[in-house]
Amino acid sequence: MGYRVGVDIGGTFADFCAFDEATGALRTLKVLSRPDAPGSEVMEGIRQLRSRFGIEPSAISYFTHGTTVGVNTVIQRKGAKLALFTTARFTDVLELARLKMPDPYDLLAERPAPLVPKDMVFGIGGRLRADGGEERPVDRAEVVDAAREARARGAEAIVVALINSYRNPAQEHAVRAILREAMPDMHVYCSADVWPVVREYERTITAVIHGYVQARVAHYLGSLQDALAREGVPAVAQVTKSNGGVMSAELGKTRCAQMILSGTASGVIGGSYVARLSGFPDTLSLDIGGTSADIAIIRDGQPQYGIGEVIGEFPIFLPTVAVTSIGAGGGSIAAVDALGVLRVGPESAGSTPGPACYGRGGERPTITDAMAVLGYIGQADLGYGAVKVDRARAVAAVGTVARAMDVPVEQAAEAIIRIAVSGMYLEVSKLISRAGIDPRSFALQAFGGAGPMLACFLAAELGMAHVVVPTTPGVLSALGGLVADVKNDFIRTIYLDLEPAAMPAIRDGFARLADDARRWLAEEQGHRGGFRLVASADMRYRGQSYEIETMLAAEDIEQGRDEALAEAFHAAHERLFGHCDRAAPVQAINLRMVIVADGPKPALARLAPATGPAKALRHVEVHVAGARRQVPLHARADLLPGHEFSGPAIIAQEDTTTCVPDGFEGTVDGYGHLVLKLSARH
């Protein structure tokens, strides 16, 4: 028995969650992020776990970590200098992309410059046919000449992405072998090994992002492993993956693309866990940190997945937890533009210098400063004592907006909150429209350091009747890493019409994927326990350009029931688009297999019910709806199952502050989650 520790690093804070395997107790902690020294906050947190809670590093039996190193590398464009080797006459693959304008409403919009500039892209002789057969072999001399030229131009690594290699990786591997012989010290990445998906741009950009971040991610993970060893942590470090699973940090050094949305996915996994516990399986998760708000759809207690999530300015086509990010976090900066319009975000104060009220050098007004001006925060300790809220500094910062608008400072603060919430409303409306869901039938689950501050305001705009605030909302992403399973995805392109004659090939393709999955789990993860396999296929009507991932039953695959597989696709198409055509021929493009090995989960115990009514610590002055009011301030630890309270109210805890506006009624469920209900009159 020991402690299972989950860590998630955000823009402002690094969050820690420690689960005592003997007692079931949770210990949580926040320390300030260190963008100037990534990873040092992890060591600081481990030291504070010992000093605050007596958790010795030697007692940490499991350690998992969500990191933003990969995605930040792309956003900041600080990755490796790459060369790209393509099939001759396909050197414009990154330039052409999908010919989509970044903003269809801006005729002057420019597409982002590729991660590999044109002068670092080299066409190589040789060609594979569409069926994977070799039409012309790789030209060895051209490969060697291109490699020498790439090195002369400063290439630190080479990505090889040849036409049709998803069918047959032999030519990419041949190029890699030539490069290793000619330049043994050059890093080489093959697109068919990173993710062998059909379509040249999708496969190439995924491999390029992998190569771009690999060196920095591998260095970070290696440094983390060394630091954990120096601190005396015996656990093998695990990292969360974009698909909501975990893998060893050692494996992560060479599978960087799979963990590029590591931190974001952890929050949704934690949110799914809470959705099942709280009795609200259909939930919109709202994770607001210092820089952004991440929104995801949870159905039946399970996260939704997608392909083509955008990393910085570029899509990546590995399976990921589907998350929509909005540039509106607690540190988002408010300003009045030259036309006199108040805008909030996407620029953020981050952790350095941070909001003005933190007293760390920030002077520009943020959402957090607006909340401090109104009195919602600053009434109790925040961030485990890492910051002290200085309302006077917040008033000075928001005062710049108030003077530009010629209104009192409290009115300016309320305007900042309304603008921030309206921006969230717009983006959430787009998401729920695409997904075809009615938000009124979903609960809004709020977490992250700023999520509970703003969730009720957003829920009221969306007409959502319930807001759920987990017991440890400020560190839920760290908890998500603790409840994540060992998980990996496998894909195989087949491109077949769904008919009886194709079923042997489909059955054989799934069998090969299952063998690959079992081998990965045993050999690369060292897992010898139980697991489950989940089969799906990317399918479409013949003639369509894009596919729908369709979940398939194992017995239908085994017994060759092509009509049952087609019916699964028809049903998926109807759910998504409201119609289907059961007479139309169906094609299976990609076969997919997911292997999941359940890990041990924290067994959160139900809490003893309250024996009396909820009591406030005291009443504090808050500016509400244009007037000052005395509202109750509750300590979260004092709110027990069965307690009831009404808004307006403030609920303070070490990792966040929950704002309960007028019109909301609150209760506490058996696990200590706050359930805030919007009254019908609102």
450 falls in which pLDDT band (50, 70, 90)? confident
Quick one: which of 221, 204, 123, 127 has its CA closest to 161?
204
- pLDDT digits over 95-123, tens only? 988 877 777 777 777 888 999 999 999 99
Looking at residue 108, its pLDDT comes to 79
pLDDT in tens, 403-413: 999 999 999 99
Per-residue pLDDT at 383 exceeds 60: no
Measured in degrees and rounded to the nearest 5, phi and psi for residue 218 equal -60, -40
Q: What pLDDT, on a 0 to 100 scale, did the predictor assign at position 591?
A: 96
What confidence category does residue 35 fall into, taking pLDDT thresholds of 50, 70 and 90? low
Q: What pLDDT score does 351 carry? A: 67
Give the pLDDT confidence score for residue 40 in this predicted structure: 82
Q: Please check whether residue 570 is in contact with residue 519, taking contact to mean a CB–CB distance below 8 angstroms.
A: no
> Is residue 328 a contact partner of residue 424, using CB atoms and an 8 Å limit?
yes
- Per-residue pLDDT band for 15 (boundaries 50, 70, 90) equals confident
pLDDT for res 382: 67
Fold match, 79-209 / 486-597: no
Paired tokens of 346: 């996407």
CATH class given for the domain over 486-597: alpha beta
Tell me how far the alpha carbon of residue 219 is from its chain's centroid.
21
Q: What is the pLDDT of residue 12?
A: 66
- The three-class DSSP label of residue 324 is strand
Adjacent-strand bridge partners of 286: 295, 446
612: pLDDT confidence band, cut at 50, 70 and 90? confident
Say yes or no to pLDDT of 80 above 90. Answer: yes
Instruction: Please state at what angle helix 69-76 crosses helix 262-278, rounded to 10 degrees.
Output: 130
The structural domains of the chain, with segments of one domain joined by +, span 79-209, 486-597, 618-678
For domain 79-209, give its CATH number from 1.20.140, 3.10.620, 3.30.70, 3.40.50: 3.40.50
Average pLDDT, the chain: 89
Q: What is the pLDDT of residues 645-672, one digit of tens each?
A: 998 999 998 878 999 999 999 999 999 9
pLDDT value, residue 681: 57
Beta strands (DSSP E) in 542-585 are 548-551
* For residue 497, pLDDT beyond 60: yes
| pLDDT, average across residues 143-163 | 96
Name the E strands within 137-221.
Answer: 157-161, 187-190
Position 67 confidence tier, pLDDT thresholds 50, 70, 90: confident
Nearest Cα residue to 482 out of 472, 492, 491: 472
**What percent of the chain is modeled with pLDDT above 90?**
56
> Which whole-number Å values give the CA distances from 569 to 499, 509, 669, in the listed order?
13, 18, 39
HEC string of 430-495? Answer: HHHHHHCCCHHHCEEEEECCCHHHHHHHHHHHHCCCEEEECCCHHHHHHHHHHHCCEEEEEEEEEE
Average pLDDT over residues 431-450: 88
In angstroms, rounded to a whole number, what is the distance separating the alpha carbons of residues 466 and 443? 5
pLDDT in tens, 188-234: 999 999 999 888 999 999 999 999 999 999 988 988 898 899 889 99
Between CA 446 and CA 660 the distance in angstroms is: 12
Confidence of residue 526 (pLDDT cuts 50, 70, 90): confident
Checking if the pLDDT of 634 tops 70, the result is yes
- End-to-end distance of the chain based on CA atoms, in angstroms? 49
No. of helices (H) and no. of strands (E), the chain: 17, 35
Query: In this predicted structure, what is the pLDDT of residue 353?
Result: 84
Given its phi and psi angles, is residue 580 left (phi above 0), alpha (psi -120 to 50 degrees) or beta? beta
Say which range, 164-173, 386-395, 543-552, has the weakest mean pLDDT: 386-395
Measured CA to CA, the distance from residue 643 to residue 83 in angstroms comes to: 62
Q: What is the 3-state secondary structure (H, E, C) of 379-418?
A: CCCEHHHCECCCHHHHHHHHHHHHHHHCCCHHHHHHHHHH
- pTM for this model (two decimals): 0.83
Per-residue CA distances from 473 to 62, 371, 448, 658 (Å): 21, 18, 6, 9
Phi, psi of 515 (to 5 degrees): -65, -45
According to the per-residue pLDDT averaged within each range, which of 25-34, 146-155, 539-548 is highest? 146-155
